[in-house]
């Protein structure tokens, strides 16, 4: 049976992106492993709806290990982005726009 709305969790959580405090029931769960459906032995972090709406909701499987593998303290931002683009096969072009 469904619980009534009055019995929902009234805890306060903090958005990890902007620092806003909000009720747990109004927050969105964030799982850095990218699989919020596998809830076993996990502690979730939370986002407010505004910050959650700004996120890309594409699968992230393997993203963290990819970023670690191309990361280096000596790389400029442009070099890092080039390595990332090469690693994910982003069109194979080495040309960059002036916006980058």
Exposure string for 68-88, b = 16+ CB within 10 A, e = fewer: eeeeeeeeeeeeeebbebeee
| Residue pLDDT, tens place only, 2-26 | 655 555 668 999 999 999 999 999 9
Contact 78, 96 (CB under 8 A): yes
More confident residue, 59 or 69: 69
Total count of domains within the chain: 2
Per the domain annotation, does 97 fall within a domain?
Answer: no
| Residue pLDDT, tens place only, 45-54 | 999 999 998 8
Question: Do 46 and 26 fall within a single domain?
Answer: yes
More confident residue, 97 or 26: 26
Question: Do 64 and 49 fall within a single domain?
Answer: no
Which domain range does residue 36 map to? 10-54
Per the domain annotation, does 95 fall within a domain?
Answer: no
Question: Do 14 and 50 fall within a single domain?
Answer: yes
Question: Do 48 and 15 fall within a single domain?
Answer: yes
- Enclosing H/E stretch for 44: none
Per the domain annotation, does 2 fall within a domain?
Answer: no
- DSSP string over 39-63: -TT---EEE-HHHHHHS--S--TTH
User: How many whole angstroms separate alpha carbon 28 and alpha carbon 34?
Assistant: 13
- Enclosing H/E stretch for 28: strand 28-30
pLDDT at 9: 63
pLDDT greater than 90 at residue 100: no
């Amino acid at each position: 049976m469904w619980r009534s709305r009055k019995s929902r969790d009234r805890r306060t959580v903090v958005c990890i992106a902007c620092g806003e405090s909000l009720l747990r029931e109004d927050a969105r769960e964030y799982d850095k492993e990218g699989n919020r459906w596998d809830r076993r032995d996990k502690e979730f972090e939370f986002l407010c709806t505004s910050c959650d709406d700004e996120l890309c909701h594409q699968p992230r499987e393997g993203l963290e290990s990819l970023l670690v593998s191309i990361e280096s303290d000596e790389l400029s931002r442009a070099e890092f982005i080039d390595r990332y683009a090469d690693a994910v096969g982003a069109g194979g072009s080495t040309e960059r726009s002036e916006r980058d």
